[in-house]
């Protein structure tokens, strides 16, 4: 149980990656007051949490309803997580230099989705709450880890300017790349586990 909680926490932490969201958040909220930035951060985290809890609760049911097996999703999800991990490793995720800020409510797009509730984190919550592999208690634990990670994400956004001053762009890039390596390893483990379930028992030690 404890091992599953640690795995869930680390997987969600590296897929949501609160530190890498800091420069994007600052770029999108430039010129706004501290109170406005706090409101945007809170709204973004709440929306992202609702999206991820929805997929945590019914993601597998929806997949099975349209004929997608969990092993197929785990393989596809592993590839998605591996791709995200490699992008983080090579510095293609978390840059705030992508042009002018988008119009509309930035707390919804791009902060809530796809920055926090994106393909990687949605894949992670579905894989981590496999109804055939994890009990209700274990899935509840994963939900608790999700809330914890989103709380960390809100805290990082709330003190985004302080974090930027303390670690600078270099520190942000280093943390993002380290998390990219961890995510790539977790993605490969997800793929290996899915392949082990597909092949006859004992084929892969």
Helix (H) or strand (E) holding 196: helix 160-198
Task: Give the pLDDT of residue 98.
Answer: 47
The residue ranges of every structural domain in the chain are 2-198
Q: Which residues are within 8 A (CB) of 64 and not within 5 positions of it... i.e. 6 or more apart?
A: 70
Q: Which residue has the higher pLDDT, 202 or 149?
A: 149
Q: State the first-to-last Cα distance of the chain, in angstroms, to the nearest integer.
A: 22
- Tens digit of pLDDT for each residue in 80-103? 778 877 887 887 655 544 444 555
CB burial class (10 A; 0-12, 13-18, 19+) of residue 130?
middle
Task: Give the pLDDT of residue 137.
Answer: 95
Whole-angstrom Cα Rg for the chain: 17
Distances (CA, A) of 66 to 48, 61, 169: 24, 9, 43
The number of C-alpha atoms within 13 Å of 95 and in the hemisphere containing its C-beta is 11
Task: Give the pLDDT of residue 205.
Answer: 67
Q: Which tokens belong to 151?
A: 């709380």
The answer to whether residue 161 scores a pLDDT higher than 90 is: no
Q: What CA–CA distance (Å, rounded) separates 84 from 86?
A: 5
- Tens digit of pLDDT for each residue in 34-49? 899 999 999 999 999 9
Q: What CA–CA distance (Å, rounded) separates 115 from 113?
A: 5
Helix extents (H) in 90-159: 119-128, 136-158
CB burial class (10 A; 0-12, 13-18, 19+) of residue 136?
exposed
User: Average pLDDT over the chain, rounded to whole?
Assistant: 85
**Mean pLDDT confidence for 137-153:** 96
Q: What CA–CA distance (Å, rounded) separates 149 from 130?
A: 20
Confidence of residue 172 (pLDDT cuts 50, 70, 90): confident
pTM of the model: 0.76
Q: Which residue has the tokens 């977790």?
A: 186
Q: Which residue has the tokens 């999206």?
A: 51
């Amino acid at each position: 149980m404890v091992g599953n909680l640690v795995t869930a926490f680390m997987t969600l932490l590296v897929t949501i990656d609160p530190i890498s969201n800091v420069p994007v958040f600052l770029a999108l909220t430039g010129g706004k007051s501290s109170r406005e930035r706090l409101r945007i951060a809170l709204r973004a985290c709440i929306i992202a949490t609702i999206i991820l809890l929805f997929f945590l609760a019914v993601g597998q049911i929806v997949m099975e309803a349209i004929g997608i097996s969990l092993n197929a999703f785990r393989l596809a999800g592993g590839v998605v997580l591996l791709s995200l991990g490699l992008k983080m490793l090579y510095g293609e995720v978390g840059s705030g230099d992508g042009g002018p800020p988008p119009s509309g409510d930035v707390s919804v797009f791009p902060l809530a989705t796809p920055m926090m509730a994106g393909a990687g984190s949605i894949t992670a919550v579905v894989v981590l709450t496999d109804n055939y592999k994890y009990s209700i208690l274990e899935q509840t634990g994963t939900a608790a880890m999700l809330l914890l990670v989103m709380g960390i994400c809100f805290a990082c956004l709330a003190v985004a300017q302080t974090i930027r001053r303390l670690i600078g762009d270099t520190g942000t890039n280093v943390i993002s790349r380290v998390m990219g390596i961890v995510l790539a390893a977790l993605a490969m483990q997800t793929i290996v586990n899915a392949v082990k379930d597909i092949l006859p028992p004992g084929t892969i030690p």
